[in-house]
Amino acid sequence: MGPLAGLGGVGLDGDLTLEVVDLGSRREVREVSGFLEGFGLGYGTDLDYSVVLRRGGAIVATGSFKGEVLRNMAVSEGERGQGVTATVVTALMGEQTRRGMVHFFVFTTPKSAPMFASLGFGEIARAEPGVALLETGLGSIDGWCRETAGAIRDLPPRRAALVMNCNPFTKGHEALVRRASEENPAVVVLIVSEDRSDIPFADRFRLAREGLKALPNVRAVPSGKYSISDATFPDYFLKSEDGLMAQARLDATIFADRIAPALDISARYLGEEPNCPVTRAYNETLLDVLPRRGVRVEVMPRLGIAGQAISASLVREAWRAGDWATVSDLAPRPTLDYLRAHKAGDPKP
């Protein structure tokens, strides 16, 4: 670890030093992990930057970020109320700003949420007892909701919604959306915006729009930062079960309490998930959370073709193997043409 320069304005007294954690050092990561364990928190490995605050050589506070999201925030009990949290947050946000970020989330516990509210963060949602999500900076969930509502204002009310990664768009996705379009006046398809998939968001979004253009009451829109994102559900992309249920409940709560009312969504459609435990647990959480908040949930059995259940993962496997007959069976023509033009494993365009 090394001292963090240029922090004379954050109010450190003579006994406190702020240091950057070397995320490549097992010793340093173990030390921070041990500190966080005392708060019931895990450290994880999918981080961009971490700092610790020391008094007399001992860690008394720490914080990290991944992208726009502040995480792993912890302060020793004896240091609370002394401006220590503000010191750590200022250091982290300063580095985020240096990297070009203008919007910030904090992923924390409901118990700690008021502390961040006092620092200018506004609460988006919480899932008791585990997690709360707050934000500050340029942009907000209210702004995203207004913008997205404007993009679908010509659709009839009482809409259904689907949230899809579409990595890539398959005939199974098309069948699920088609069913929703037949059973509802209109359908909004939120394509996951987070670029953590084999296929970049811009291409996933384009392929989904092409695959759905025959359905006039359907509109595909970007999901933004508030559905299955690094902020609301980081373990979805890691396919990890650590903290899974709390994150799934947070994501479901944001959808039910903030997104559904703003977009006039009364139903959410899901594809049955027999394989991936993370997606299956997420579906189970949606079935538990959404109906209690007035959003109907419909689950469609997975579509099968030629004896195979269609899944995006199966399409990707066939893509990697150059099995174009299987890709053709499971994916619509625009997806097939795209995959033929892009070799599996190539860097994202």
The tally of domains found in the chain comes to 2
Band the pLDDT of 307: cuts 50, 70, 90.
low
Amino acid at 17: T
Its domain, for residue 211, covers: 142-303
CA-CA distances (angstroms) from residue 278 to 120, 228, 298?
33, 12, 19
Q: In the beta sheet, which residues pair with residue 219?
A: 188
> Does 112 map to a domain?
yes
* DSSP assignment of 299-312: EEPPPEETTEE--H
Mean pLDDT of 273-284: 81
Whether residues 177 and 296 share a domain: the answer is: yes
Average pLDDT, the chain: 89
Whether residues 28 and 116 share a domain: the answer is: yes
> Does 337 map to a domain?
no
Per-residue confidence (pLDDT) for residue 8, from 0 to 100:
34
Instruction: Provide the 8-state DSSP code for 257.
Output: I
Whether residues 134 and 174 share a domain: the answer is: no
Q: What percent of the chain has pLDDT over 70?
A: 91
φ, ψ of residue 333 to 5 degrees: the values are -55, -45
> Does 159 map to a domain?
yes
Mean pLDDT of 206-219: 97
Of the residues 85, 106, 138, which one is the last residue of a structural domain?
138
Per-residue confidence (pLDDT) for residue 346, from 0 to 100:
59
Whether residues 178 and 228 share a domain: the answer is: yes
- Which range is least confidently modeled, 60-69, 123-132, 273-282? 273-282
Domain CATH number, residue 203:
3.40.50.620
> Does 128 map to a domain?
yes
Tell me: the pLDDT tens digits for 245-268?
888 899 999 999 999 999 999 999
**Whole-angstrom distance between the N-terminal and C-terminal Cα of the chain?**
36
Q: What percent of the chain has pLDDT over 90?
A: 68
Domain CATH number, residue 123:
3.40.630.30
What span, in angstroms and rounded, lies between the C-alpha atoms of 100 and 7?
19
Band the pLDDT of 343: cuts 50, 70, 90.
confident
What count of other Cβ atoms lies within 10 Å of the Cβ of residue 40? 9
- Which range is least confidently modeled, 106-110, 144-148, 214-218? 106-110
> Does 343 map to a domain?
no
Whether residues 117 and 177 share a domain: the answer is: no
Whether residues 146 and 277 share a domain: the answer is: yes
What span, in angstroms and rounded, lies between the C-alpha atoms of 266 and 184?
10
Per-residue confidence (pLDDT) for residue 123, from 0 to 100:
96
> Does 277 map to a domain?
yes
Whether residues 118 and 239 share a domain: the answer is: no
Whether residues 110 and 178 share a domain: the answer is: no
By the 8 A CB rule, do 242 and 211 touch? no
Per-residue confidence (pLDDT) for residue 11, from 0 to 100:
44
Whether residues 147 and 134 share a domain: the answer is: no
Per-residue confidence (pLDDT) for residue 235, from 0 to 100:
60
By the 8 A CB rule, do 63 and 92 touch? yes
Per-residue confidence (pLDDT) for residue 7, from 0 to 100:
38
Of the residues 119, 138, 157, which one is the last residue of a structural domain?
138
SS3 string, 23-43, reads CCCHHHHHHHHHHHHCCCCCC
Whether residues 220 and 286 share a domain: the answer is: yes
pLDDT above 50 for 301:
yes
Of the residues 138, 173, 196, which one is the last residue of a structural domain?
138
Whether residues 179 and 283 share a domain: the answer is: yes
Burial of 95 (0-12, 13-18, 19+ CB in 10 A): middle
> Does 263 map to a domain?
yes
Whether residues 92 and 174 share a domain: the answer is: no
Residue 190 CB partners (closer than 8 Å, separation 6+): 161, 162, 163, 164, 221, 222, 223, 227
Tell me: the pLDDT tens digits for 160-183?
999 999 999 999 999 999 999 999
> Does 180 map to a domain?
yes
